A and B are shown apart, each in its own frame.
Chain A
Amino acid sequence: MNFLTSALLADSTIDVGGHAAQIEVFGMKINMDIVWATLFAAAVVLGFGFIARNRVTSGVPGKLQLIWETLVEQISGIAESAIGPQAKKFVPLAVGLFTFILTCNWMELIPSGHNPEWLPAPTADVNLPLAMAVTVIFLVHYNSIKARGVGGYFKHYLTPYPVMLPINIIEEVTKPITLTFRLFGNIFASVLMVSVLTALLPLWAVPIGELIWKPFAMFIGGIQAFIFTLLTLIYLGIGMSTEEH
């Protein structure tokens, strides 16, 4: 009896945040599974990018070029409506964010083992979303100071009333945190859901559960990539706006 219970428990145990491989450099742990998954995603994005670049034509575009052009045009449109005439220089950042996050998110569809997973979605690890959020927030503040001047930048913390100062500071501090954890949380939960399905459903029902869940996870992956990109552009737009609200 005791043996049965423990076997059931072992089966139902869901290990979260485990890594296939970790190394230590300068006393810092590096999750190697995330690193090579990230490199894989980067290779996919840049590979498609360079293939499109080498076949680029101003005549009738191929399918790949059409996808890139559509992406660039759509994101340019959003950037222009969020930032205005200066939007053009942020288009590569936004295109990079969207394509890279989307690729990373969709990597959760690649089955590569459970606990440990050998090719996990890099966005299901906190480090990549954080790295992107930090980059974005750094650019937001840098461009905010550039657009408003140092005085204008600090003055905007006192708008619309000086009493709003703490709330404005909290808002700025939470931006990178929410940006990170929105993406990380969604994708991590999406991956975790597969483990939960595997653990809770009878074996014969697991493929059905996955069949339902994976397309939805793909949808979430697309939405999260779009939201991260959109919020980046909106934050930049708000940070660089010089008119009083």
Chain B
Amino acid sequence: MGNLAEDIFLLPNGTFFVELAVFLFIVFALMKWILPPINKALEDRQNQIRTSLEAADVAAADAAAADAERRAALEEGRRQASELIATAQADRASIVDGARKEATDAAAAVTARAEASLSAERASTLASLRREVGTLAITLAGKVVGESLADDERARATVDRFIADLEAQANGASN
């Protein structure tokens, strides 16, 4: 009967100390030898993932920067091209204007020269006509009236008036 307490299976016995030692050894082994390398592998992997994520971020940022640069270059190219086109158009307009003005001027000069030469010719023709017609008329009239009117100042004045009348008539007809 004195042994009853020892035989009750609900009560601990000397096994307790063995179990305690084994359990403490397991925890010690896990803490000292097993878990640190596993934890280190975990952390290393997390670091690797973090590093590659960061690298990916950097690459993405680089790509974005390159894209922005490309866009800027493209924009600059477009701007220069449109500037060139605008300049060329302006140049073309000024060249065309210049050419047109030059042509107009040349045409005007040619016209003016032609007009001048025409009017000079006309004036000389008129003068020679006046001279010759006067002389002819006087000669003709002298022959008709039988006297010479060549020296008569009045006859010359008459001829001149006649011619002026003729001119006036001609002018009136042309108008």
Contact = CB atoms under 8 A, between A and B. Distances in A.
A196 interface: no
Contact of B14 (A26, A61, A72, A100): A26
A231 interface: no
Size bracket, chain B contacts: 35 or more
B19 A127 contact: yes
A167 B9 CA distance: 29
B38 A68 contact: yes
A193 interface: no
Contact of A30 (B11, B15, B34): B15
A244 B11 CA distance: 38
B27 interface: yes
Given A100-B23, A100-B26, A127 B16 contact: yes
Nearest to B7: A17
A141 to B, nearest CB: 17
B38 A38 contact: no
Contacts of A87: none
Contacts of B18: 30, 35, 38, 127
Contacts of B45: 58-59, 61
A227 B156 CA distance: 154
Interface string B27-41: 101110111011111
B20 A29 contact: no
A135 B24 contact: yes
B106 interface: no
Chain A contact residues: over half helix, strand or loop, or mixed?
A: helix
A93 interface: yes
A126 B15 CA distance: 9
B9 A56 contact: no
Given A45-B26, A53-B33, A58-B44, A30 B38 contact: no
A121 interface: no
B12 interface: yes
Contact of A56 (B13, B30, B38): B38
Interface string B74-98: 0000000000000000000000000
Interface of B: 6, 8-20, 22-27, 29-31, 33-35, 37-42, 44-45, 48
Given A29-B14, A31-B15, 6 more contacts: A24-B14, A49-B30, A50-B34, A57-B41, A58-B40, A58-B45
Q: What 10 pairs across the A-B complex have the smallest Cβ distances?
A: A17-B9, A28-B14, A58-B44, A49-B34, A92-B31, A131-B20, A127-B15, A131-B19, A96-B27, A128-B19
